[in-house]
Amino acid sequence: MLHQGTFMNRLSWLVISCGFVFAGCGAAEAADDSVTANTDEQPTVANPYITQGGSSTATVVSSLAGPPGVLIQGGTELGSFAIASYGGRGGATQTTYEFTVTRAAGSAFAYSFVGSGTKYATRALRMQLAPGSDQLLVAATSGVVACGAIAPGQPTAVAVVIDTGAKRFDVHIDGAATPCAGLSTNIVPPMTGFNMMDASNEGYGGRVEFTDLAMY
């Protein structure tokens, strides 16, 4: 029998999973003025495909240190969403993702690493920072695991290393190991990109900036 806290944690994660679906559906059905296509035919690490709806926006920001990043100004009301999708190519047996996140107090976001599976569980490995929390959570096959704090108001470097052969991954925060080490995933290689979003769930949103984006 689940304890109440465990049940609520799982229920909360289920809600954000539904938010991913709603955001994707909203993006597909959105009016033309809420979809911003990149200038290339396919999204790249330097050039995302952006979809947005409601009061949420995602804007590409320039960077002197590396590829452009993205600034999400997310509305917290139900139905507002913004997604920046990037394309890339992973390694033959291992793919590393890196990004730096700077978030305002009270903000919440989701981040997904995209593979080649035909179902959501085999196509995406997702992490999130939920409303009212500072903990970066990741969805392993064994359940949701807290990797560590993402404090507001300061840049925080995150690296995720996926062993696509063994289907295991590690998460590092500011160069340090975290409890998210050797976790299992059902994602199917090759890895093809990543995305970050203000989910359409109520409470998700706020100001979040992602820079130093890399996939290799």
What separation in angstroms does the CA of 191 have from each of 19, 48, 133, 152, 203? Answer: 23, 16, 29, 30, 30
Beta-bridge partners for 71: 59, 209
- Looking at residue 42, what is its pLDDT? 64
Per-residue pLDDT for 8 more than 80?
Answer: no
Domains and CATH numbers, the chain: 4-215 (2.60.120.560)
Select, from the ranges 2-11, 20-29, 61-70, 191-200, the one with the highest average predicted confidence (pLDDT): 191-200
pLDDT tens digits for range 34-44: 444 444 446 78
Confidence of residue 23 (pLDDT cuts 50, 70, 90): very low
- 143-149 β-sheet, strand order: 35-36, 49-53, 81-87, 193-198, 109-114, 124-129, 135-140, 143-149
pTM above 0.95, yes or no: no
Give mean pLDDT, residues 198-213: 96
